[in-house]
Structure 1
Amino acid sequence: YQWDLNYANPEVFLAMCEEMLFIAGLGVDVLRLDALAFVWKEKGTVCESLPKAHTVIQAFRYVARIACPSLQFKSEAIVHPDQVVQYIGADECCLSYNPLQMALFWSTVATRDTRLLTLSMQRRWHIPEQCAWVNYIRCHDDIGWTFSDEDAAGLGINGGLHRQFLNRFFTGRFEGSFGAGEPFQLNPSTGDCRICGTMASLAGLEQAELERNDEWRRMAVARIKMMYAAQFALPGIPLLYAGDEKAVLNDYSYRDEPAKKDDSRWVHRIKADWGKSTRYASQREIADYLKKIIGIRQAEPMLGGPDICFYGVQDSRVFAFRRETIHVVVNFSDAPARFMIDAWSEDSTDLLSGKSYANHLAQELAPYEVRWLKENIR
């Protein structure tokens, strides 16, 4: 439960400053500001992203600059994309969750169509240089479909109907779905809800393992690897939700506990297993792949900076962008796809596979294949 604090009372603000400075004194580097769009509320308003919410955050920031200048704030604003960026900047939060990237990764996995993802990233990615996105695929909370209806409408997509489709898809109520998610805060009259579940269960690994279907398992593993490879190639800080590094599956035991059974978020809030064991070989494969791409990212300075340019859509299944002289090509589909390498003059080597490619040839991508193509500068 989150208490509403009356920041119109200066004693409340001073008390919270004391709490903040105490935590900073313990050595904490980053403070996560939860639901900061709702920190200031007034009767007769929507109580979301009111101007004085920014005033409160800026005041905390000024106090931190005086007493603990190395402390950074991380914004958790799960609101419309236009509002998310309003909290990002040197005067408020230099770090921010990237809910748009998260939601659109899952949307694109369901549709196998990268147009909305590409358009949204082109329009809404860039933030001040001294700031960074925290890119994620899952977290402790539910998935809300926070894309812009205006962006969707520009592609002929009805935002409301698309959200209904995504909710059906990721709760296994759409033909051909692989998602094993749980609805959260379902509105029975409208069907509106948000989605809970671990990354592996939402991506099809749970269904594949329960059915012991080798082809489904192969595709689920490829799908998860693809999402991780795309996430770790983006600028910013990649976030892993505890358990997803081992591809843990949903835990439905929360339904048997009276205190938890009405909150489906417990399906992915799983008791930590601090051992190294995994139940399925597929989970070990995913964990090993994650270690591999983390190592590659750490070894490549060009993947550490803010530079990015999103390429236009050639094949609707392909999402592509440039990081200085590294070109990332992602097939979000379970079918083969193509991407023409004509955006740079040099041949390139895929950092993930070690294979070399000529720049003038079309890239034939296998289902869910990702390439980090580094130019071979002569």
Structure 2
Amino acid sequence: MLEDLKKKLVSSLEFIYPDLDSSFLANELIQTMGLDQQCQNPKDHQNNWDESETLLITYADSIHNTAAATTEKPLVTLYNFLQGHLKETISSVHILPYFPYSSDDGFSVMDYLAVNESHGDWEDIERIANEFTFMSDLVINHMSARSRWFDNFKKRIDPGKDYFYEGNPQDDLSAVVRPRTSPLLNPVTTEDGERFVWCTFSEDQVDLNFENPKVLLEFVNIVKHYLDHGVKIFRLDAVAFLWKKAGTPSIHLQETHEIIKLFRVLIEHHSPDAVIITETNVPNRENLTYFGNANEAHVIYNFSLPPLLIYSLISGDCRHLKTWLMSMPPAQMGTTYLNFIASHDGVGLRPTDGLLAEEEKNQMVSTMLQFGGQMTYRRSREGTDKPYEMNISLYDAMKGTIAQGEDKWQLQRYLCAHAIMMALEGIPAFYIHSLFGTENDYARMENTGRARSINRSQWDISELEDQIENKFSHHSKVFSRMNELIAIRKKQSAFHPNATQFTLHLGLQIFGFWRQSMRRDQSIFCINNISNEVQDIALSDINLIGTDDWVDLLSGLKVDDLAGSLTLAPYQTVWLSNR
């Protein structure tokens, strides 16, 4: 088994580091992961999930206890909330970077091996990991400019001397794909004089240099550390930008894909039930490449879903959503999609390239601004600033429509969006604020000076529980209905992440698709009115099988007359199942 493992590692290492001894480096990687002591044999195309899989996305301190007498750390508060309110709903928990950091709410990591002491400690992480499948960020592209490694870089000593990527201002960097408008190269004074470090995202987030194999070994050691503390899902943050090369776009380079393969091989030989998820907020066709040949990411984010679904619901037109869904290849066994419609970041617009016209994007942006949202920009290759990300809470994004502005259908539109997301091929992921219908947080945004903070609220546990218990609060209505939808979804074999999916054609105001279980013992027709008007559908257009008994899982309504019609209220969803 070790020889087969080594062959796989050497195959990638020879491409990444053609001038190094790949066999020697492979042995170092194996020893660092402890695979020379214990190595498991992963099965090809193994699904480490089923229809009961649901993922929660949260910061360590999204919920905290501000009671004057308490010294409770946020990770303890979070654990108590999960146990008290979400134990039957959520199976996996993604806690966004919980390490010491200097900026970007955690994504500028100062120490990968420590837990931010203001949040808690490793025991708190392990307590959550013992109850839920635990997902951790591996912030692999960049590190804080205030880290020990970067201090050593400036001092020109190890570890850190050659850990960060240096650029030359004289090089042609015009082709580099930028997600920000900040300078790509930043001057730094070191013991050897001025150096220019590569900063894809910000001056405080300095890109790491994977051309140095010591950096690769450091991160393999970090991965082993996380596995030892109960991490089972690894989110490779901003991994598309990992390998840089002057004169190229410096995104999606083959070296990056080979490094992902390396991590996949090492992780699954340590823990066959562990999973890699790549975070690549890019156009859809580029995103799909991170599956590789079922040998890179186990799971990729469905980044095109949030903007397309928002556009469909505020325009009342699902043609682009249908076109996209028809173009999505079924994921191979052992791989799947992560479906989400809200996260700690804003709603990216690059994943709509080739899917929405510029005029349609502009209409959506204008509407989000009208609903209180903000906009961040990126620097294009032409040197102009283009809209990159819509910053708005999902609840406020559902306030109304492009044509008519705010209306009375916000709650129904919001729940419809989640019902669609839950039913699609893949694993559903819920940003914690989506469970409560949290609104735009203008105070937090003003306090931090960052647009993304509008959707990064922090709830006091007492206030949150009061809102959940108040049946007249929209927070309570959202939380209650979301839990009901998830509970129903988790019981349906046709909603397995790899179950068959086909797109239905029922007009522009009805978004529909069909799911069939892998055992073919259940079919569900997911029919969604994405408009603010009542819609009637002839049941003959859905092609329900006459010998089966059909029932709407959400309302309990039985469908007896297949020659009749189905009437849907604005933003109503039905899940017609034959069992």
Please classify the TM superposition score into its range, dividing by the shorter chain length: 0.7 to 0.9
Specify the alignment match of 2:308 in structure 1. Answer: 104
Specify the alignment match of 2:366 in structure 1. Answer: 168
Specify the alignment match of 1:277 in structure 2. Answer: 466
Structure-to-structure mapping, 1:37-186, within 5 angstroms? 37-89=240-292, 90-147=294-351, 149-152=353-356, 159-172=357-370, 179-185=371-377
Does structure 2 conserve the Cα–Cα contact (< 8 Å) formed by 1:315 and 1:337? no
Shift of 1:233: 1.4
Q: Bigger CA drift: 40-49 or 191-200? A: 191-200
Per-residue Cα deviation, 1:112-133 (whole angstroms, up to 9, x for no partner):
1111101101111522121121
Does structure 1 conserve the Cα–Cα contact (< 8 Å) formed by 2:373 and 2:391? yes
Specify the alignment match of 1:246 in structure 2. Answer: 436
Aligned residues: 352
Structure-to-structure mapping, 1:310-329, within 5 angstroms? 310-324=502-516, 325-329=523-527
Per-residue Cα deviation, 1:54-96 (whole angstroms, up to 9, x for no partner):
0111111122233333321011111111111111253111112
TM-score by length of 1: 0.87
Residue 192 in structure 1 maps to residue 382 in structure 2: no
Which of 192, 196, 204 aligns to 2:399? It is 204
Per-residue Cα deviation, 1:330-365 (whole angstroms, up to 9, x for no partner):
111111223332322235210000112233323221
Does structure 2 conserve the Cα–Cα contact (< 8 Å) formed by 1:98 and 1:133? yes
Amino acid at match of 2:224: L
Does structure 2 conserve the Cα–Cα contact (< 8 Å) formed by 1:37 and 1:77? yes
Specify the alignment match of 2:216 in structure 1. Answer: 13
Shift of 1:101: 1.5
* Separation of aligned partners in 1, 2:351 and 2:528: 20
* Separation of aligned partners in 1, 2:259 and 2:497: 30
Query: Structure 2: where are the runs of 5+ without partners?
Result: 1-107, 109-141, 143-205, 401-405, 517-522
Amino acid at match of 2:305: Q
* Separation of aligned partners in 2, 1:180 and 1:348: 42
Per-residue Cα deviation, 1:140-179 (whole angstroms, up to 9, x for no partner):
0011124454445xxxxxx22221111111111xxxxxx3
* Separation of aligned partners in 2, 1:289 and 1:66: 40
Does structure 1 conserve the Cα–Cα contact (< 8 Å) formed by 2:425 and 2:501? no
Amino acid at match of 1:288: S
Residue 355 in structure 1 maps to residue 552 in structure 2: no
Does structure 2 conserve the Cα–Cα contact (< 8 Å) formed by 1:170 and 1:180? yes
Shift of 1:290: 0.6
Does structure 2 conserve the Cα–Cα contact (< 8 Å) formed by 1:180 and 1:204? no
- Partner SS, residue 231 of structure 2: coil
Does structure 2 conserve the Cα–Cα contact (< 8 Å) formed by 1:167 and 1:193? no
After superposition, the Cα gap between the structure-2 partners of 1:295 and 1:65, relative to the gap in structure 1 and judged at 3 Å, is: closer
Q: Bigger CA drift: 364-373 or 352-361? A: 352-361
Does structure 2 conserve the Cα–Cα contact (< 8 Å) formed by 1:351 and 1:371? yes
Does structure 2 conserve the Cα–Cα contact (< 8 Å) formed by 1:135 and 1:236? yes
Does structure 1 conserve the Cα–Cα contact (< 8 Å) formed by 2:444 and 2:457? no
- Partner SS, residue 134 of structure 1: strand
Shift of 1:304: 2.3
TM-score by length of 2: 0.58
After superposition, the Cα gap between the structure-2 partners of 1:190 and 1:336, relative to the gap in structure 1 and judged at 3 Å, is: farther
Per-residue Cα deviation, 1:242-267 (whole angstroms, up to 9, x for no partner):
1221111111113442xx21x20001
Amino acid at match of 2:453: W
* Separation of aligned partners in 2, 1:312 and 1:4: 45
* Separation of aligned partners in 2, 1:4 and 1:41: 9
* Separation of aligned partners in 2, 1:311 and 1:62: 35
* Separation of aligned partners in 2, 1:54 and 1:266: 32
Does structure 2 conserve the Cα–Cα contact (< 8 Å) formed by 1:348 and 1:359? no
Shift of 1:14: 0.6
Does structure 2 conserve the Cα–Cα contact (< 8 Å) formed by 1:339 and 1:363? yes
Larger-Rg structure: 2
Residue 306 in structure 1 maps to residue 506 in structure 2: no
Does structure 2 conserve the Cα–Cα contact (< 8 Å) formed by 1:74 and 1:95? yes
Percent identity of equivalent pairs: 23
* Separation of aligned partners in 2, 1:16 and 1:8: 13
* Separation of aligned partners in 2, 1:370 and 1:236: 19
Amino acid at match of 1:247: G
